[in-house]
Structure 1
Amino acid sequence: MSELPNLEAILVLPRLRIQNANAISSPLTHGFPSMTAFIGLMWAMERKARAAGIDLRFPAVGVVVHRHEEQATPDRYVKTLHLTRNPNDRSGSPSPIVEEGRIHLELTLLLGVKGAALDDPTHTGPLTRQLLDLLYGMRVAGGSLVPPRQHRAEHVPYFMPLGGSEDDRLDVFASTVPNWLPGFTLVERPDLLLLRHDELKANQPDATALDALLSLARINWHAGEPDADADADAKIIWHNDRQGLGWVVPIPVGYGALTPALAAGSVANARDNETPLCLAESLYSIGEWLSPHRLESVEQLLWYPTTDLHTGLYRCRNGYQPELEHSFD
C-alpha cells in the first residue's frame, strides 16, 4: 500500500481563473478535468522550477474549486457541448468539427512541496511570486490562466507550513480552510464502490466492479416495501439509493497497461522516441466532492502518483481514507 510522500509545506495558489480547460476527463466521464491532468501540471511546474534554479520538489497536488461553468447547453436528459466553428481549409471547404468539452474554472491550487528553497523563511514571499509567474506561462488541464482584474489579498500566493507537531499542523489547517470557502474539493471514495459491489453481489452473484461503478453513477429508483396494514390500493412509495451519499461521481484515477513496455523508438509516430512506451486504458473509481471544512487535515485532499511496473498500474491516489483490502471477482 502506498502512502502520501513526506511534505514540508503546501504552496497555495489561490483563486486562479482558467478558461477553456478540458472538461472531458476520460473516454467515459466529463464535467471536470481529471486529477491526472493536475499531476501532469505538478510535474511540469517542478521541471520549470528546477530549470529556473529553484530547488523544490512537488510530490502531491490538490484543488479546491470555487466556481465552474461547463461550456454545454443543459437539457433534461442530454447536454450538448458548445463547439467552435473553425475557418475553412485551403480548398474553401468547411473544416471538420472535432468535439471537445471545455469548462471555465475558478480554483485554488495546492501543491505539496519540499526542498532546500524553503530553508530561508525570509525568501518565501519572492519565491511564491516567482512560482506563480512560472505557472502563468503554462496551461492548466489544457486551459489558459487569466490574470485577475484587480490584484487583491485573496490572490496572493503563500506557503502553508507543515512542520511542528500534529496539533500545530491541524491548527494551521483549521485557520487556513476559511480562505478556501465557498469551495469543493475532490476526494476518492473506494469504500463506497466496495460497499455497492457487496450489495449487488447479494442479489447478483456475478456482479462486477463495473456494475458497481455504473450503479453509483446513476440514480436507481426502487419501490418501497408495502405496509402489511395498508390497503391494496395504497400508493407505492419510491426511493432512490443515492440519498445520503453526497455529491458522488465516477472519476478516472490513472492508467492500466495493456501491453509490456516497448523499447524507446520502436513505435512509429510516437510523441517521444526517447522513452519506453506501452498501450494503456483508463482506470476508474468513485470520488466525492466535499467542502474542505469537512476534512480533518490538508493531506486528505492531496493526490499523488504511484507506479507499479509489475502490474502495469500508473495510478493517482488520495489520502482521504485508507485503501481497503478487497479483491473483485
Structure 2
Amino acid sequence: MAECPHFEHLLVLPRLRVQNANAISSPLTHGFPSITAFLGLMWALERKTGASGLDLQFNAVGVIAHQHQEQITDGGFVNAFRLTRNPVDKTGGTAAIVEEGRIHLDISLVFAVRSQALQDEQSAPGIAARVREQLGQMRIAGGSLVESSAPRSRQRPYVVSLTGDAEGQQRLFDRLKLRLLPGFALVERPDLLEQRHQALLATQAEATRLDAWLSLARINWHWQAAKENGQGEWQHDRQDLGWIVPIPLGYGALGALQDPGSVINARDSQTPFRFVESLYGIAQWLSPHRLHSARQLLWYTDSQPDDGLYRCRNDYRPTPVHEFDFD
C-alpha cells in the first residue's frame, strides 16, 4: 500500500477566499470541490514556482474548510443550483443554459514540501509570500481568489519546518492545529465503509460495497419498537458517525493507455491518454485539533497504471475510544 511521500516542511497558505469554485465534484457528488482538484492545483503550483526560480517539491496537500456557501436555492425540499443567464448568441437568440454548480469557500491549504531553500529560516517567509503571490494568479478548483475578510495577520503565509526530533515535530504540529481553528479538515474513512458493508452483509448476503457507500451517503431512518409498551420511536443510523460525506477518490481506467496524439481532440497531444471513470469512497470532516500528526491531514497520489488506478490517499486512522467503568 502506498505511503505519504517524505517531506521536511509544511507550507501553509491560510484563509483563502475562493469565489465560484466548482461544487460538482463528480457525476454523483456535490457540495465541495474534489480532492483531485487540490492535487492538480499542487502540481500546477509546483510547475509555476519552478518556472520562477523557486526550488520547491510539492508532495502532498491538506485542505481545511473554514466556511462554505454553495450557490443553491434554499426553498423547498429539493435544492437546485443557482444558474447564470448567458449572453445572447450570434443570432440574437437565447443561449443555452449549461448547468454548473458553484460554491464560495474560505479555506486554508497546507502543502508538504521538500526544499533546501526552506532550510534557511530567514528566507522561508519570503518564499512563502512569493508562493502566495503566484497562487493569486491561478484558479482553485475553477474558482477565483478574491480578497479575504480575515485579519491580515491571519492571512500571512508561513512555513513550519519539521526537521527536528519527533517530539519537536509534534510540538510544532500541535501549534499549527490551533492556528487552523475554527475549521474542518477532510480525511478519508475507509474503515467506516468496511464496517457498513459488514453490517449490510449480516442481513443482505448480496450487499456490495456500492450498497454500503450509498447507505452511508444518506440518513437511513427506521422504526424501533419498544419492548415494554410497544410504542417505539423513529431512529437513524448516523449516531456517533460524525460529519461523513461521500467523495470521489480518483479515477479508474475504462480501457488501455493510448499513445500521445492518437486520440483526436485530446487536451494534450504530448501525454498518453486514457478513458477513466470516477472512484468513490467515504470521507469525514474533522476538526484539526483531533489530528495526531501532519500525515493524517495530507492527501497524496497513488498511481498504478498497470492496474488502471489513479487514486488519492490519506493516512488518517481513527484513535480507539476506550470506555472505563468506574463503578
Contact 2:61-2:298 within 8 A present in 1 as well: yes
Deviation, structure 1 residue 257: 0.4
Return 108-117 or 14-23, whichever deviates more. Answer: 108-117
Aligned to 1:27: 27
State how 1:61-140 maps to structure 2 within 5 Å: 61-140=61-140
The superposition leaves residues 273-319 of structure 1 with CA deviations (integer Å, 9 ceiling, x where unpaired) of 11111100000000000110111112211000110012110001001
What CA distance in whole angstroms lies between the structure 2 residues aligned with 1:195 and 1:75?
35
User: Cα RMSD over matched residues?
Assistant: 1.3
What CA distance in whole angstroms lies between the structure 2 residues aligned with 1:274 and 1:93?
39
| Structure 1 residue 182 corresponds to structure 2 residue 182 | yes
| Structure 1 residue 315 corresponds to structure 2 residue 302 | no
**TM-score, reference length from structure 2:** 0.95
Aligned residue pair count: 318
Pick the aligned partner of 2:234 from 238, 263, 267. 238
Deviation, structure 1 residue 5: 0.7
Pick the aligned partner of 2:289 from 288, 293, 303. 293
Contact 2:225-2:231 within 8 A present in 1 as well: no
Identity percentage of aligned residues: 54
Deviation, structure 1 residue 164: 1.2
| Structure 1 residue 257 corresponds to structure 2 residue 222 | no
What CA distance in whole angstroms lies between the structure 1 residues aligned with 2:248 and 2:150?
35
Question: What letter is aligned with 1:224?
Answer: Q
What CA distance in whole angstroms lies between the structure 2 residues aligned with 1:182 and 1:56?
29
Which stretches of structure 1, 4 residues or more, deviate above 4 A after TM superposition?
none
What CA distance in whole angstroms lies between the structure 2 residues aligned with 1:269 and 1:193?
38
What CA distance in whole angstroms lies between the structure 1 residues aligned with 2:298 and 2:308?
23
State how 1:203-218 maps to structure 2 within 5 Å: 203-218=203-218
Question: What letter is aligned with 1:105?
Answer: L
Q: Give SS of 2:122's match.
A: helix
The superposition leaves residues 213-244 of structure 1 with CA deviations (integer Å, 9 ceiling, x where unpaired) of 000011111222441x42xxx42222111111
What CA distance in whole angstroms lies between the structure 2 residues aligned with 1:305 and 1:55?
21
What CA distance in whole angstroms lies between the structure 1 residues aligned with 2:77 and 2:193?
25
Question: What letter is aligned with 2:50?
Answer: R
What CA distance in whole angstroms lies between the structure 2 residues aligned with 1:147 and 1:81?
24
User: Which sections of structure 1, spanning at least 5 residues, go unmatched?
Assistant: 323-329
Q: Give SS of 1:203's match.
A: coil
Return 76-85 or 201-210, whichever deviates more. Answer: 76-85
| Structure 1 residue 268 corresponds to structure 2 residue 269 | no
Return 259-268 or 171-180, whichever deviates more. Answer: 171-180
Question: What letter is aligned with 1:293?
Answer: H
Question: What letter is aligned with 1:273?
Answer: S
**TM-score, reference length from structure 1:** 0.94
Deviation, structure 1 residue 165: 1.6
Q: Give SS of 1:81's match.
A: coil
User: Which sections of structure 2, spanning at least 5 residues, go unmatched?
Assistant: 319-327
Contact 2:15-2:150 within 8 A present in 1 as well: no
What CA distance in whole angstroms lies between the structure 1 residues aligned with 2:263 and 2:167?
52
What CA distance in whole angstroms lies between the structure 2 residues aligned with 1:158 and 1:111?
11
Go from structure 1 to structure 2 and tell me whether the alpha carbon gap of 1:149 and 1:191 turns closer, same or farther (over 3 Å shift). closer
Q: Give SS of 1:168's match.
A: helix
Deviation, structure 1 residue 248: 0.6
Q: Give SS of 2:202's match.
A: helix
Aligned to 2:298: 302
